[in-house]
Amino acid sequence: MNKKALLVLVLIIFTLLSVSAGFFLGKSYPTEITPTDSPPPPPPPPPQVTSQSSSDGTRQLIMTATLNSDGTHTYTFSTTDDSHQDKQFVFTKTLDQTQTMAIPFNSWSPDNKYFFILEQTAGKDTATLVFPSSGVPFSTGEKYLDASDIFTKKGTGHRFDQATGWASNSLILINTTSDSGTKGPSYWLELPSLAVIRLSTTF
């Protein structure tokens, strides 16, 4: 073998060694088992369903609370009859984690023509939304009314505390607090006139 052929052979061997070294040295081998994929996120909790029957048991108001991926909750309300055949969508609202919605025990008016639901912050009622159960808007064109907002705008000198229920088919009972923080008088909010009537009896 002449010198030239030997040189070519050395170069080929060197080249092969370099390529092999580069291949094997550049490749890392795991020294321990590590997960290559994060586990799938847990499934979202199932929607929470609560309901409240009318006094005579013929109507149901249903609230479905769904947790969203951003931590907010979407509340959806519907009504149905006692056979659950006539389910009607009523209202939906998405609230952040500091707020909730609820159906009170006394939600339905005695004649089942109205119902109200509550928006709450830290357990305190911040809105009392009154709906006609027929789905037909109020004469003002609004689908629902906020009883607490209406009361506040009347300027009675007392603060809205809580709508406790219905004194009759069309009278919502409202308890109040005075500026000093003591219990104030009770009022009626009459539907659909929206008149506010101060009572001598405290409920």
Least distance in Å: CB of 165 to other proteins?
A: 3
Asked if residue 100 binds other proteins (CB under 8 A), the reply is no
Residue in 108, 131, 151, 187 binding other proteins, rule: CB under 8 A: 108
Query: Nearer Cβ to other proteins, position 54 or 76?
Result: 54
Q: Smallest distance from the beta carbon of 172 to other proteins, in angstroms?
A: 9
Geometric angle at alpha carbon 77, from 108 and 100, rounded to 5°? 95
By CB under 8 A, residue 106 contacts other proteins:
yes
Which x/- pattern, by CB under 8 A, does the window 154-173 give for other proteins?
----------xxxxxxxx-x
Interaction mask 29-58, other proteins, x per CB under 8 A: ------------------------x-xxx-
Q: Are 112 and 56 in contact (CB under 8 A)?
A: yes
- Binding segment for other proteins (CB under 8 A), chosen from 3-11, 32-40, 109-117, 150-158, is 109-117
Query: Among 109, 128, 148, 176, which residue sits at the site for other proteins (rule: CB under 8 A)?
Result: 109
- Rounded to the nearest 10 degrees, how much is the dihedral formed by the CA atoms of 104, 109, 113, 116? -30
Q: How many residues in the shown chain lie near other proteins by CB under 8 A?
A: 22
Interface with other proteins (CB under 8 A): 53, 55-57, 105-106, 108-111, 164-171, 173, 200-201, 203
